[in-house]
Amino acid sequence: MTLADPARLRRTGGMLTALAVLGVAATFPGRAPERADDPRPNVIVILTDDQSFDTLPSDPAAMPWLQARIADPGDHWRWFPNAYVNTPLCCPSRASILTGLYSHHTGVQDNGDGRLLDERTTIAVRLHEAGYRTALIGKYLNRYPFGRGPYVPAGWDRWVGKQNLSDATTYYGYPFVDQGVPLTAGLAPDAYATDLLARKAAGFVRSAPAGQPYFLLFTPSAPHGPQTPPPRYAG
């Protein structure tokens, strides 16, 4: 497999959208098996925030473990070298990813417009109707929950929606909504946002019932600034 020329990827102000992962459940020990006669694959999409286009792939590798996994066909990853987004803003880009629509059709054209998205039209609703178990774990749309109080948008069976209020709460002490329940992460090392959300995402995959396909949209805040590393990498 030949990795794409990074120059062909388009950097956005909000996120790197060139990477999507299909069938990655093969990498999780204890995962629920797919039915051999079911043509619907398990789908995991990992959406990072403010990641520069030239970090993946790169030479030398900035993320060597991940870059090696993507390059190994046996890991069932899929690389989309020509992927791009049609708007440079975070919230409109996320709305387009969720719906497949241009931002002028979603109503979300600014980072403060997340509340305008018709949440009945997202991929979660469509896949839920098709029999998928769906989950979003991480950042949703800017300013969620839009002053409505804690809620789970239509179509999501598992929901951990992280709120992004300020730089000070990007990685510690951040509020989030877990299945409709408002919670606040602490300041202990194990509350580091990327780690906590990753544990919840892995738990969703490992607890998936046999015979039902799932869709996971995993959206950590990293590497969005401030560049706060987990304690094990500090210094």
Range 141-165 average pLDDT: 94
pLDDT of the residue at 117: 97
Instruction: Give dist(CA 9, CA 116) in Å, integer.
Output: 29
Instruction: Give dist(CA 56, CA 220) in Å, integer.
Output: 16
Specify the pTM. Answer: 0.84
pLDDT of the residue at 78: 75
Q: How distant, in Å, are the alpha carbons of 65, 67, 185, 195 from that of 62? A: 9, 8, 29, 19
Phi then psi for residue 71, to 5 deg, are: -80, -10
pLDDT of residue 9 exceeding 80: no
- The sign of the CA dihedral 65, 71, 74, 76 is positive
Q: How distant, in Å, are the alpha carbons of 73, 78, 80, 111 from that of 115? A: 39, 32, 30, 10
pLDDT of the residue at 79: 74
Range 106-134 average pLDDT: 97
Q: How distant, in Å, are the alpha carbons of 77, 104, 168 from that of 172? A: 30, 34, 7
Range 155-159 average pLDDT: 99
pLDDT of residue 14 exceeding 70: no
User: For all residues of the chain together, what is the average pLDDT?
Assistant: 84
pLDDT of residue 152 exceeding 50: yes
pLDDT of residue 19 exceeding 80: no
Range 213-219 average pLDDT: 98
Instruction: Give dist(CA 71, CA 79) in Å, integer.
Output: 8
Task: Encode pLDDT of 61-110 as tens digits.
Answer: 988 998 898 888 787 777 777 877 889 899 999 999 999 999 999 999 99
Higher pLDDT, residue 1 or 218: 218
Residues marked active site are found at 90
The residue extents of the domains of the chain are: 43-73+131-225
pLDDT of the residue at 72: 85
Task: Encode pLDDT of 173-199 as tens digits.
Answer: 999 999 999 999 999 999 999 999 999
pLDDT over 90 percentage in the chain: 62
Instruction: Give dist(CA 171, CA 162) in Å, integer.
Output: 10
